[in-house]
Amino acid sequence: METFPKTRIEITIEAPILSRVTQTLDSFPISGYSVLPVISGRGHDGSWSIAGQISDAGRMLMIICIVDPSKAEAILQAIFPIVQGQIGIVTTSDVRVIRQDAF
């Protein structure tokens, strides 16, 4: 089966800045993204969990979008000012899809 190269962008952030990130993504001609809850993890400051959280301040979310590689750099440049001073991580990876027109 033929596959097509794309770039997967994963943005793990605190819930309060979700709308700023998604508004930025919405400004690009991309087909979409998914937002997933992140329930626990471990970082520089040790392990953490959503257990016992009573507000969005400590809740973490992951935004996943798959884009044409030619759009990835511009998206990352636009997202960086939003996330640079926040808790979280942004990663990219090369992926292959079977429906080129969906992305």
pLDDT digits 0-9 by tens, 28-80:
999 999 999 987 777 777 776 666 565 556 689 999 999 999 999 999 999 99
Q: How many structural domains does the chain have?
A: 1
**To 5 degrees, how large is the angle CA 75–CA 76–CA 81?**
110
CATH no. for residue 66? 3.30.70.120
Per-residue pLDDT at 56: 56
Question: Which uninterrupted H or E stretch holds 72?
Answer: helix 69-83
Report yes or no: 87 and 17 within 8 Å, Cβ to Cβ: no
**Closest to 40 measured CA to CA, from 9, 62, 63, 10:** 62
Q: How far apart are CA 22 and CA 65, in angstroms?
A: 11
- % of the chain at pLDDT higher than 90: 69
Per-residue pLDDT at 83: 94
**pTM value?**
0.86
* Residue 17 lies in domain: 4-102
